[in-house]
Every structure is written in structure tokens, then in C-alpha cells.
């Protein structure tokens, strides 16, 4: 079979939508061997469970036990064992300028490292936007800014991780349908028509099927398999988007325990998990199609009970709201309750990393060319130091993951951010209060 060469920017079109293709072998001659380098960041509020190492609850301590390479995950992060060689667990890092800020005021500073200043609590530019300014012109979207709550929120309780060059919050998108439509060519002005189309069971993939079949005929066998797998993954995400969006748009009634048992609402209670997975999957698809190379997702804000994510644990059957889990972890049973939630959150992040790792790109994987940053700006609730942090990927960018690195308080988190920018090939003299690169990540 004669295989056509496809340009990296080839898209499948049909009835008002355009679906970008993933990297295929027949595109190899059309681009350099230097694959796109990507960065994404994920944030959760209120910190994690950190019982003493010698306590009876030590197995629910978030940080591992042991040394740099011979570390052992506790019950909290053991779900990441299959990804052990793909991640760094980082202990001891924080933003020095933010350590004396209010107990729950630091979510806004997670990616800026700057103490909120002045009457209007002015911030500075976030890491993702520095990267987006340098490499964003190479993609359709310079960055993807997502959150559970959407918009910007308020100072110290922002519902976005991303801040402009002037320190202004960048509104986050929280509608899975809106994100999906933007990625795949459906105009926001045509949402009503899109809803009618989806209702009539004519999905986005159905509308590009003729073009996809035409392209598929000209591909080699291996590329045909890749294309089929990719289209199936897009269909799964499209279906998940609809389920998640329906949950967001439907007010949740107040129900008693008896009501819940009678109505058997277990499927509905899974909706928050579905939403988180959908947001992760949308970032995966955005990276796979090279629609953007920079993304942030704030899973929950420091807005206490005003954040939609605050009720996620309760809706999923955990013992309390997110705020209560964080504040009550020192009470009887609290360590295990918070530890189980921390483990659930880690499993969601791990599933995202696994999707990246299972996607080939050149001689490596999508994960090899991605830096995925995950963590919180509290170690435990009311403590603004020793953030719980994980950096995944980067093996194809010169990093050597598979290690548990422990730092002293004299090392600012901005040193990691400076290293991230360097690996993204962004020219910079440093970031915020950094004192240099973090050479430990290379050795």
C-alpha cells in the first residue's frame, strides 16, 4: 500500500467541525525530531494528611518513606506505584514569600510565587503564562485554563491558577462542552445547534466520518490502527463530556439518606469523578492534537463552601466535605478519611499520566515530552510550607524521574519553575524568587 504523507496540521472536517489528527508515522518527515514540549499543572486546596512518621497513622502520611530511589509509597500514594519510574515526589518546597500569608490565601500564588500585595492584593504572572507567551504561538490556543468553578473568583480565593503578565487573573473555563467545542471546531455561537445535533445522535465524529474514512484508506496499517484508537478515545471523551455537562447544569436536590436509598442514585453520585476525569481527558486530547502545549486545571479553590469541588468528597461517599476533611484530620478517624480522599485524587492524576504514557510519540511517549505538575499550596491545612508536590514525565526532555527528592526550606519552589521553563526551551533569567535551576532533576 502506498502511504500518503500528511502534514502535521491535517484535520478531519465535516458539517461545521474540525478534528485535529494525532501524530502519525507518515508525518515524521514533515517535522523535526524535536517533538513538542508541553506543561500542565493541577491544583487541589487545603493540603494533605501528614501524621507523624512514628504514629499509628503513619501509613496515611502523604509523603513516601525511605530514600531517593529506594522509597516506599504509603497507602496514600500507593496507587502511583505503576508509575513510579515516571514521577518525582518532591518534599520541602514552597514559596518563601507566601509562608506568612493567611492560612487559605495561597491558592492564587501556586504558580506565581509572589506574595499578594497592596490594597487590591495584586499578583504577578503565573508560570504557565510565561510558557504560553514563549511557545503559545505555535499552537491554535496559547494555553488552556480550566477549573471546576470557572471564572476568576476573588483575590485569595481565585477560581483560576493562571495570571497575566500584569498579574490579572485569567478566567478559567469549567464547561466540558465548551472546551470540547473549542478544541474541535464548533463555534460558541452555535451551541444551540450543537445541542440539537447531539440530541439527534449525530455526534461530532459522525459528521467527520466520511473524511476520516477517506484519509484512513491512504494510511499504512500501523497508522490505521493509531487513527482508529484515537477516534475511539475521542468518542469516549465526547460521551463523557455530555454526562459531565448534564450534571453541572442540573441543580442537585437536597435529599435525605432515605431518599437516596429509595432512588438508588449511585450513578449520579459518580458525576464528580466523571467530571474530573473528563477535564483530564480534555487536556490529554488538547496535547495529543497539539491544540495547545500549556494547560492548567484548578480542581478546587480555597473558596471553602463556595467552591463546587468542596462537596466532591461527600458526593462520592467520603466522610465529609473537602473543607471538613482537611480540618478534621486530627480527630478520631480523620487521618484515614483524609488519606483515602488524597489517594482518590492521586489515582485521578495517575490515570492521566498513564494515558500520556500509553500514547506513543516518536521513539518515546507523550509523557516523555510533557511535564505534569500536581500539588497544593498547603502542606496540611493552615500550613503554607512543605507543599505536597509531584512532577510527572520529562524523560524525553532531559529529566531523570523515578525519585523522591527532599529539599530544605532554603530552596524555593521557583527553582523548579525555572527548570521547567528551561526544559520547555523558554529563554529566561529565572522565575520569581528563584536562586537557580534544580539540577537534582537531571542526575
For 395-408, give one letter per residue: b (16+ CB within 10 A) or e: bbbebebebbbbbe
Q: H or E segment at 154? A: strand 153-154
Q: What is the pLDDT of residue 15?
A: 66
DSSP 8-state code for residue 306: G
Would you say residue 245 lies in a domain?
no
* Closest by Cα among 235, 230, 177 to 359: 230
Q: What is the pLDDT of residue 34?
A: 77
Q: What is the pLDDT of residue 2?
A: 47
Would you say residue 153 lies in a domain?
yes
Whole-angstrom Cα distance, residue 114 to residue 95? 8
Give me the tens of pLDDT residue by residue for the chain, a chain 443 residues long: 445 567 766 778 776 677 777 777 777 544 456 789 999 999 999 999 999 999 999 999 999 999 999 999 999 999 999 999 999 999 999 999 999 999 889 999 999 999 998 888 999 999 999 999 999 988 889 999 999 999 999 999 999 999 999 999 999 999 888 888 888 765 544 545 544 444 433 567 777 877 888 888 888 888 888 788 788 878 877 777 776 666 555 453 343 454 334 333 333 446 888 889 999 999 998 999 888 999 999 999 998 667 889 889 988 899 889 999 999 988 999 999 999 999 999 999 999 999 999 999 888 999 999 999 999 999 998 899 999 999 999 999 999 999 999 999 999 999 999 999 999 999 998 999 999 999 999 97
H helices, E strands: number in the chain: 13, 13
Alpha helix stretches (DSSP H) within 85-220: 127-135, 176-183, 191-199, 204-207, 209-217
Q: What is the pLDDT of residue 270?
A: 62
Q: Judge contact between 150 and 132, C-beta under 8 A.
A: no
Whole-angstrom Cα distance, residue 208 to residue 304? 43
Q: Where are the beta strands (DSSP E) in 321-441?
A: 360-361, 364-365, 370-375, 389-393, 403-406
The x, y and z cell numbers of residue 347, run together, are 489515582
For residue 227, give every residue at least 6 positions away whose Cβ sits within 8 Å of its Cβ, in sequence order, or none: 21, 22, 24, 212, 215, 216, 219
DSSP string, 29-95: GGS-SS---EEEEEE-SS------TTSTTGGG-SS-BS-SSS-B--TTTGGGGGGGGGEEEEES-B-
Q: What is the pLDDT of residue 65?
A: 97
Would you say residue 214 lies in a domain?
no
Whole-angstrom Cα distance, residue 252 to residue 199? 22
Q: How many CB atoms lie within 10 A of CB 225?
A: 11
Q: What is the pLDDT of residue 248?
A: 56
Boundaries of domain holding 69: 38-177+273-441
Would you say residue 200 lies in a domain?
no
N-to-C CA span, the chain: 45
Q: What is the pLDDT of residue 242?
A: 72
Q: Judge contact between 363 and 25, C-beta under 8 A.
A: no
Q: Are strands 294-298 and 157-158 parallel, antiparallel or unpaired?
A: unpaired
Would you say residue 120 lies in a domain?
yes
DSSP 8-state code for residue 252: P
Would you say residue 17 lies in a domain?
no
The x, y and z cell numbers of residue 142, run together, are 496559547
The x, y and z cell numbers of residue 169, run together, are 487573573
The x, y and z cell numbers of residue 183, run together, are 478544541
Q: What is the pLDDT of residue 83?
A: 98
Q: For residue 427, what is the domain's CATH number?
A: 3.40.720.10
Number of domains making up the chain = 1
Q: What is the pLDDT of residue 30?
A: 45
Would you say residue 149 lies in a domain?
yes
Q: Judge contact between 87 and 77, C-beta under 8 A.
A: no
Amino acid at each position: 500500500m502506498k502511504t500518503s504523507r500528511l502534514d502535521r496540521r491535517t484535520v478531519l472536517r465535516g458539517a461545521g467541525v474540525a478534528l485535529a489528527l494525532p501524530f502519525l508515522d507518515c508525518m515524521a518527515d514533515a517535522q523535526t525530531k524535536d517533538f513538542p514540549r508541553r506543561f500542565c499543572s493541577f491544583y487541589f486546596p487545603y493540603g494533605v494528611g501528614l501524621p507523624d512518621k512514628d504514629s499509628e497513622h503513619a501509613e496515611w502520611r502523604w509523603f513516601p518513606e525511605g530514600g531517593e530511589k529506594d522509597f516506599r509509597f504509603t497507602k496514600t500514594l500507593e496507587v502511583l506505584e505503576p508509575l513510579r519510574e515516571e514521577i518525582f515526589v518532591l518534599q520541602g518546597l514552597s514559596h518563601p514569600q507566601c509562608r506568612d500569608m493567611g492560612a487559605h490565601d495561597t491558592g492564587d500564588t501556586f504558580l506565581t510565587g509572589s506574595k499578594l500585595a497592596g490594597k487590591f492584593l495584586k499578583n504577578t504572572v503565573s508560570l504557565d503564562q510565561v510558557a504560553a507567551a514563549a511557545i503559545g504561538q505555535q499552537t491554535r490556543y496559547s494555553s488552556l485554563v480550566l477549573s471546576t468553578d470557572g471564572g476568576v473568583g476573588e483575590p485569595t480565593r481565585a477560581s483560576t491558577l493562571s495570571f497575566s503578565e500584569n498579574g490579572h487573573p485569567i478566567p478559567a473555563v469549567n464547561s466540558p462542552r465548551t472546551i470540547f467545542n473549542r478544541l474541535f471546531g464548533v463555534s460558541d455561537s452555535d451551541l444551540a445547534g450543537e445541542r440539537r445535533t447531539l440530541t439527534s445522535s449525530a455526534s461530532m465524529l459522525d459528521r467527520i466520518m466520511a473524511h476520516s474514512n477517506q484519509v484512513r484508506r491512504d494510511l499504512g496499517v500501523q497508522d490505521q490502527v493509531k487513527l482508529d484508537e484515537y477516534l475511539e478515545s475521542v468518542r469516549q471523551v465526547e460521551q463523557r463530556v455530555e454526562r459531565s455537562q448534564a450534571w453541572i447544569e442540573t441543580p442537585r436536590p437536597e435529599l435525605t439518606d432515605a431518599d437516596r436509598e429509595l432512588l438508588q442514585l449511585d450513578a449520579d453520585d459518580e458525576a464528580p469523578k466523571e467530571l474530573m476525569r473528563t477535564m483530564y481527558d480534555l487536556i490529554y486530547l488538547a496535547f495529543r492534537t497539539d491544540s495547545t502545549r500549556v494547560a492548567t486545571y484548578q480542581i478546587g479553590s480555597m473558596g471553602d463552601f463556595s467552591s463546587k469541588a468542596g462537596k466532591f468528597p461527600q458526593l462520592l461517599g467520603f466522610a465529609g466535605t473537602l473543607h471538613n476533611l482537611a480540618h478534621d484530620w486530627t480527630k478520631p478517624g480523620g487521618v484515614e478519611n483524609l488519606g483515602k480522599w488524597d489517594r482518590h485524587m492521586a489515582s485521578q492524576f495517575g490515570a492521566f499520566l498513564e494515558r500520556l504514557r500509553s500514547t506513543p510519540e516518536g521513539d518515546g511517549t507523550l509523557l516523555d515530552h510533557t511535564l505534569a505538575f500536581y500539588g497544593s499550596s498547603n502542606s496540611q491545612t493552615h500550613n503554607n510550607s512543605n507543599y505536597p508536590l509531584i512532577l510527572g514525565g520529562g524523560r524525553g526532555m532531559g529529566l531523570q524521574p523515578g525519585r523522591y527528592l527532599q529539599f530544605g526550606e532554603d530552596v524555593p519552589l521557583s527553582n523548579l519553575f525555572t527548570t521547567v521553563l528551561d526544559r520547555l526551551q523558554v529563554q529566561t533569567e529565572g522565575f520569581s524568587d528563584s536562586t537557580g535551576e534544580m539540577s537534582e532533576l537531571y542526575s
